[in-house]
Amino acid sequence: MCKIYGEGEIVVNSEHRQAIQRVAKGFAATGIALDGVIEAVEHTGDNWFAVGVQWQPASPSASGLDIQVFRALVDAASLRTNAAQPTSRKMALAG
């Protein structure tokens, strides 16, 4: 989440009645509200992109910062696609 939003606090539209109690193996709680509710989790490995947020980034009341979650997903998919292309194809695209 720090790569997406930077370090520090952000304001989110957190209006939920359920929350994560325990984080699954391989994941870490990376966003925690002042009341202790886990608001964001992410996979701890570098081999794939996986984040989860409790707030509503697609909500009409979302802030301009919320689009960054979607941009991060698109960027991760793009990097993975480019890495999977054969070298000759990469060179053709770059040239």
Closest CA to 52 of 36, 35, 34, 73: 73
Q: What pLDDT shows up at residue 77? A: 86
Average pLDDT value over all residues in the chain:
77
Q: What pLDDT shows up at residue 26? A: 94
- Residue 41's H or E segment, with its range, is strand 38-43
pTM over 0.75, yes/no: no
d(CA 68, CA 4): 6
- Which ranges of the chain have pLDDT less than 70? 13-16, 56-65, 84-95
Q: What pLDDT shows up at residue 41? A: 93
Q: What pLDDT shows up at residue 4? A: 76
Q: What pLDDT shows up at residue 63? A: 64
